[in-house]
Amino acid sequence: MLTTRAAAKQTVSKSTLAFVRKFIGKGLSRDGSQEPQQETDALAEALNLFTRKPAKSGKSSEVGTEYKPSLFKAFAKGSVDEQMRSRPRTDASNAHQDKNDAFVQNMLRSINMTLNTMSSLDASELLSLDAKQLQAHIKSITDEKLLVDTLDLFIEHERLNFQILGDVLMNPCLRNLSRLPVDAKNFSNIRGIDEVQAVKLKILMLKKHHSLKHPIQIISNLKQNIEVYFSAIKNDQLPRNYERLVWKFTFQYLKQYNESYYVEQFKNLRTSFIIWESTKMSHSRQVAQKILSHHSQELNSVQILFLKVAAALEDKQLRYFSVKTPLDRVSINSRWKCYLIFNSLEKILLHSQQPTATSLLDELNTCRANYIKYASEKGLEELTPASEEIILQQW
């Protein structure tokens, strides 16, 4: 048995005792005296033969967990590998991932709370917004229930109008139309909505059903309201963008008649150009040729030149230009608009690979020279700096 100053009794193997006796024996001096006790203690501590005193109750011990080899533990509990295998393991990467997930979840929760706070204006604040602010607010709503509640609020206070209802219908988060407090098929009996506005809302529903991928509802809408839409077109009651929607879905879903038929039936240059803007690109050249022949007595030289180019080329830029600058409104006396058309057509033809582009360029140059002479003789108003800037931007 081996006892140290600060250690309790501990049983060790015979080989260990022999090694210790041998070391202590070497530590004796020639005259029989013993070396200082510190060397013996140092050896015992190096062999980890000391045992720790149990901590007193009521006091916490903050001793480090750094690993120290121990002969006793090796004899009593097995090798280091066996001891490490017996310890419960924690996957550091999983723990780190759990912390990251918790952080992300907390951040998303904070963002959602902020968005809900921004969207949840009280009733008095919502009713006091001007038209632009209210439109921006409705477009920013991303919760369907909140959107429907907003519509309910304006209905209850008799503040509903066409703009509010239209913005609600076109909001992408509105997907369940049955939740609406109004009939999405008939807007005629809603306070604040007149007859023309009710027709425009029905046209907007064509676009809404298209975004929701409801082809059957589009066909049903057209069959029920097509005569109403055509009547509004003939009476010039619809803005151009609403009329384009009517023609687009008519040609796509009701194929009873083609574009040429409607050009002949409506006999209106404005409608004919809108039909050309709304048709499929594969039909655009044929429709342009039909407009040229059917409205030949109404067209001026600049409009004729544009339609000749449209009848020869399938180019989206022509259609885009016509939407921005309605061709049926172009007057021969509007100098800057005519120059704008000349420059735009020239740009398109120069980049075209069609064989007819060269002959059309020659015709364009002749038409422009004749127009310059005409404008000089008529004393048409000179281009303003603003007009010149618009023309240069197109160029």
Q: Where are the domains of the chain?
A: 1-49, 132-240
pLDDT value at 387 more than 70: no
What is the C-alpha separation between 195 and 237, in angstroms, rounded?
11
> pLDDT for 152-191, tens place per residue?
999 999 999 999 999 999 999 999 999 999 999 989 889 9
Most trustworthy range by pLDDT among 71-75, 100-104, 166-170, 325-329: 166-170
* 339 compared with 108, residue with greater pLDDT: 339
Q: Residue 48 has what pLDDT? A: 59
Q: Per residue in 296-320, pLDDT tens?
A: 999 999 999 999 999 999 999 999 9
Lowest mean pLDDT among 97-111, 156-170, 177-191, 267-281: 97-111
Give me the mean pLDDT over the 360-365 stretch: 95
Q: Give the pLDDT mean for 38-57.
A: 58
Run of H or E including 206: helix 195-211
What does each C-alpha distance from 296 to 136, 273, 342 come to in angstroms?
A: 45, 13, 20
Burial class from Cβ neighbours inside 10 Å (0-12, 13-18, 19+) for residue 103 reads exposed
Asked if residue 293 lies in contact with residue 247, where contact means CB atoms within 8 angstroms, the answer is no
CA 364, CA 251: separation in Å to the nearest integer? 32
Look at residues 273, 276, 228, 278 and name the one whose alpha carbon lies nearest to residue 250: 278
Phi, psi of 56 (to 5 degrees): -70, 145
Run of H or E residues at 143: none
Give residue 37's pLDDT.
Answer: 59
Percentage of residues in the chain with pLDDT exceeding 90?
57
What are 28's strand-pairing partners?
A: 34
pLDDT at 64: 47
What percent of the chain stands above pLDDT 70?
66
Residue 7: what pLDDT? 41
- Report the pLDDT value the prediction gives residue 44, as an integer from 0 to 100: 61
Q: What is the pLDDT of residue 247?
A: 97
Q: What is the pLDDT of residue 188?
A: 86
Q: Which one, of 329, 323, 326, 338, lies nearest residue 370 by Cα?
A: 338
Is the overall model pTM greater than 0.85, yes or no?
no
Question: Residues 315-333: what's their mean pLDDT?
Answer: 93
- The residue that leads in pLDDT, 113 or 193, is 193
Sign of CA dihedral 334, 335, 340, 343: positive
Give the chain's mean pLDDT.
Answer: 80
- pLDDT at position 11 is 55
CA distances from 118 to 113, 140, 286, 338, 344 (A): 9, 10, 52, 49, 45
- Based on the number of CB atoms within 10 Å of its own CB, is 285 exposed (0-12), middle (13-18) or buried (19 or more)? middle
Torsion, Cα of 360, 361, 362, 365 (10° steps): 120
Asked whether 251 and 280 are in contact (CB, 8 A), the reply is yes
pLDDT score recorded for residue 114: 42
Q: What is the mean pLDDT of residues 284-304?
A: 96
Query: 3-state DSSP: the chain helix, strand, coil percent, rounded to 5?
Result: 65, 0, 35
